[in-house]
Every structure is written in structure tokens, then in C-alpha cells.
Amino acid sequence: MFAIRIVLADDHTILRKGLRLLLERETDFKVVAEASHGKEAVDAVEREVPDVVIMDIAMPMMNGIEATKRVNETHPKTAVIILSVHSDEAYVLRALKAGARGYLLKDSAESDLIQAVRAVVAGKAYFSPAVSKILADDYVRQVREQGVEDPYDLLTARERELLQLIAELKATKEIAELLGLSPHTVDTHRGNLMQKLNIHSIPEVILYAVRRGVIS
């Protein structure tokens, strides 16, 4: 019996109760702990070592971003899904930089949460469709307004493949196997890719992929 163990972190009891109800309708989901602030969430992860943490951003004591960073540092195998009211890319990027694998909007949690949990458990990234849409729209508008060339057009087919795989949170070794390349070659391709996109971190690559609609 492979139950998916979940920690819920949100400072609003009613919301936690609703989320719990929603999650536990799935027979293989189990909410093992609830936390009302970031510190408590970090402690709960320490104690329970769950598969997934569902984390609100605005919480007292320690906010969700900081808590995500801690969890990611100490338990990289635990996937964090950020639950937020903000669909802005600043929040998404911040969440990704802190190590979150999923980003969900609170008002669409009811329809997306189950899917998100399953996706991150499977090692994929997950973004609320609403978030993806807003990010993609912003991207298109910015490219059009600034009249610059979309760097996506500069990418080779291999680099585009690589972009998708990186955004799906695949490890270098995994990517190498999938593409039939050596890890060293993958590193080289990734370097070129980031240089062409003029970005400097994996979270930014992921964000770019979402904005460009490569993943959703």
C-alpha cells in the first residue's frame, strides 16, 4: 500500500479543513500533519518526511517561500507545492527559486490540487493552468512590445527538447539516458541554452518554459 503522505501548511484552519477533505477523498492520499505557519511546517517535514508539502505563501513566523527553501535543503525528495493567491511571475519565480515543484492558485485548488499532487509525486513540475496562461500571455505581450526576437526561435531542436526535460525536473543523468547522450554533452547543451535565453538558473529555465508554453 503506497500511500502518498502529505503535509498541509496554511494559517487558516477552515481552508486547511477544506483541503484535507478534498485530498482525502483520494484513497491513496494521506494528510499526515497540518501546520499553521512556516516553522511548524518545517518541523512537521522533519518529523514525518512526507512525499508532498502543500504550502501557503503568506504565513506568520516564517513565510511559505522561506519554509520551502528549508524543506528543499533538508529533504530534497519531498516535493513542495505552493498554494498562493498570486498569479504573478515574480511569485512563481520566487517559488521556483526556493525549490517548489508546483504552483497552484487557491481559487482553482479544488479542481487542480489532486492532479498537482500526482504530478509532483511523479517527479514533474505542475502549474495551475490559470498561472501558465497568465505567464504565457505576459511573455507574448512583452516580446511584442519590446520588439525583440523571441530567443526560442534561436534554439536548436535538441535544445528545445532539453528545455522541456529540464522544465519537467529531470536530472542530468535521466536526460542523458532519454536523449542517448553523455551527461557531459547534456551539460554543454544546457549551457548553450541558458546563454541563448540569457538566464542564469534552473528555476528561470523552468519559468521560461512555462511562459513559452513548453510545459504547462
Partner 1 sequence: MTEEPKSTGKQTQRLLLIGFGGLLLLLAFSGFNALSVLGHIQTSNEQIREDYFNRDRILEALRSELYLSGTYVRDLLLEPDPARADSHRAELDSARVRLGILMNSYQTVLQANEQIPFERFRKEVTAYFDSLKPALEWTPSQRKELGYSFMQTSLLPRRATVVLLADQIARLNQDQMNSGNRQVQALFARFRTNLVLLLCVSLIVGVLLAYGSIRRILRLERLSALRFDEVVHARSALQDLSARLVEVQETERRALSRELHDEVGQGLSALLLAIGNAAAMISPNDNPEARVQLLDTRRLAEKTVAVVRDMCLLLRPSMLDDLGLVPALEWQAREVSRTEPIRVTVQAESALEELSDDYKTCIYRIVQEALRNATRHAKAKLVQVALTQDDKALRLTIKDDGKGFTPEREKGIGLLGMEERVKRLDGTFEVQSAPGTGTTINVVLPLAG
21 binds partner 1 (CB under 8 A): yes
1 binds partner 1 (CB under 8 A): no
Partnered with residue 29 across adjacent β-strands are 4
211 binds partner 1 (CB under 8 A): no
Judged by CB under 8 A, the residue of 43, 48, 89, 187 near partner 1 is: 89
**Is 31 or 175 the residue whose CB approaches partner 1 more closely?**
31
187 binds partner 1 (CB under 8 A): no
Q: Which of 29, 192, 27, 69 is nearest to 7 (CA)?
A: 29
**Is 108 or 172 the residue whose CB approaches partner 1 more closely?**
108
Residues with Cβ within 8 Å of residue 4, at least 6 apart in sequence: 26, 28, 29, 30, 51, 52, 117, 121
Q: Which of 103, 108, 43 is nearest to 79 (CA)?
A: 103
200 binds partner 1 (CB under 8 A): no
133 binds partner 1 (CB under 8 A): no
Judged by CB under 8 A, the residue of 6, 8, 19, 121 near partner 1 is: 19
d(CA 67, CA 34) in angstroms, rounded, equals 14
Q: Yes or no: say if 104 and 214 are a contact pair by the CB < 8 Å rule.
A: no
Q: Which of 16, 63, 9 is nearest to 35 (CA)?
A: 9
90 binds partner 1 (CB under 8 A): yes
d(CA 10, CA 83) in angstroms, rounded, equals 9
88 binds partner 1 (CB under 8 A): yes
138 binds partner 1 (CB under 8 A): yes
- What is the binding site for partner 1 (CB under 8 A)? 11-12, 14-15, 17-19, 21-22, 25, 57-58, 63, 65, 85-86, 88-91, 94, 106-107, 109-111, 138, 141-142, 145-146
